[in-house]
């Protein structure tokens, strides 16, 4: 079963290379759509938190503990961005925005948890492991497109954004191996709401304000539509799960 879990997480990790579709796109065209992809990313992060992560946590631990852990995740990223990355906000020559690093951290944790869940699913049965993998892939496609856009918008080159996004996706394989041998489901239950708080921080405090800087009224309205599309995609996955 471990081999199935590893193969599944390798496939999930490859999904992060969806950004390769934008590698050959000319810079002007990429710049014209990047704000829309940022909006999609914000919608998927916030939708994922409210439709998937928080409800999943509420099924397994007490509500007050769940929301305390959500706040903890939010506060951890607040601390990291405003204290550990303080110089990024005040150095005019800084090329990479701190929210890009936060997104990589959050996405890495998310992929790690996905890997653990896939491994635990295969321990139950191959069918459940397979269906869980399909659900994760469907979940990852829109989110990975948004993640790639966040890295580009934050100052990464296209090739570096692709590489680091893939690197963070590989934590799914680590999660599968550790989940198969070491990590208990109860540990993941407590990690999920923390991850939700981290996603809410990135989406609400970093990405949404970026959308507010758009000067074109048409693009501002269109980005709002893409934000809603991101939320709708996360909601629609409830039926698959």
Question: Domain residue spans in the chain?
Answer: 2-13+32-82+97-240
CB within 8 Å of 160: residues ≥ 6 apart:
151
| pLDDT confidence of residue 87 | 45
| pLDDT confidence of residue 84 | 59
* Residue 84 DSSP class: I
| pLDDT confidence of residue 75 | 93
HSE, CB side, 13 Å, CA atoms: give it for residue 153.
27
Higher-pLDDT residue of 159, 128: 159
Return the percentage of the chain with pLDDT > 70, whole number: 90
Token match 């996360």: residue? Answer: 234
| pLDDT confidence of residue 210 | 79
| pLDDT confidence of residue 124 | 66
Q: What Å distances lie between residue 16 and 56, 60, 116, 167, 226, CA to CA?
A: 24, 29, 18, 9, 20
The two tokens of residue 51 are 């439709």
Kindly state the average pLDDT of the residues 79-101: 62
Q: How sure is the predictor about 128, in pLDDT bands with cuts at 50, 70 and 90?
A: low
Kindly state the average pLDDT of the residues 131-147: 77
Q: What Å distances lie between residue 117 and 47, 89, 219, CA to CA?
A: 20, 36, 38
Please tell me the distance from the alpha carbon of residue 235 to that of residue 210, in angstroms, as a whole number.
24
pTM score of the predicted model: 0.73
Q: How sure is the predictor about 90, in pLDDT bands with cuts at 50, 70 and 90?
A: very low
Residue 127 has pLDDT above 60, yes or no: yes
Lowest-pLDDT range of 127-136, 149-158, 231-240: 127-136
Q: Which of 43, 231, 228, 238 is nearest to 149 (CA)?
A: 43
Please tell me the distance from the alpha carbon of residue 80 to that of residue 198, in angstroms, as a whole number.
11
* Residue 38: strand, helix, or coil: helix
Q: Which of 11, 15, 13, 241 is nearest to 128 (CA)?
A: 241
Residues 42-83 have pLDDT tens digits of: 898 899 889 988 998 999 999 999 999 999 999 988 887 777
Return the percentage of the chain with pLDDT > 90, whole number: 24
Residues 158-210 have pLDDT tens digits of: 888 899 999 999 999 999 998 888 777 788 788 889 888 988 988 888 788 87
Q: Do 172 and 13 touch, CB atoms closer than 8 A? A: yes
Residue 141 has pLDDT above 90, yes or no: no
Higher-pLDDT residue of 155, 19: 155
């Amino acid at each position: 079963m471990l081999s199935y879990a590893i193969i599944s997480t390798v496939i999930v990790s490859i999904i992060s290379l969806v950004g390769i579709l934008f590698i050959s796109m000319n810079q002007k065209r990429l710049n014209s759509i990047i704000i829309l992809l940022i909006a999609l990313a914000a919608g998927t992060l916030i939708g994922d938190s409210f439709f998937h992560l928080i409800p999943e946590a509420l099924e397994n631990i007490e509500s007050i503990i769940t929301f305390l852990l959500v706040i903890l995740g939010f506060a951890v990223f607040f601390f990291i961005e405003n204290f550990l990355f303080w110089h990024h906000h005040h150095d005019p020559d800084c090329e990479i925005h701190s929210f890009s690093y936060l997104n990589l951290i959050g996405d890495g944790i998310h992929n790690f948890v996905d890997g653990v869940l896939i491994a635990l699913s295969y321990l139950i049965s191959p069918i459940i492991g397979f269906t869980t993998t399909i659900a994760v892939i469907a979940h990852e496609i829109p989110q990975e497109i948004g993640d790639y856009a966040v890295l580009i918008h934050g100052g990464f080159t296209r090739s570096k954004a692709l590489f680091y996004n893939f690197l963070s996706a590989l934590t799914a394989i680590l999660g599968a191996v550790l989940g198969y041998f070491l990590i208990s489901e109860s540990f993941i239950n407590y990690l999920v709401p923390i991850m939700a708080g981290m996603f809410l921080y990135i989406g609400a405090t970093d990405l949404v304000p970026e959308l507010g800087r758009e000067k074109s009224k048409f693009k501002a309205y269109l980005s709002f539509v893409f934000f809603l599309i991101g939320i709708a995609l996360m909601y629609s996955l409830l039926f698959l799960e």
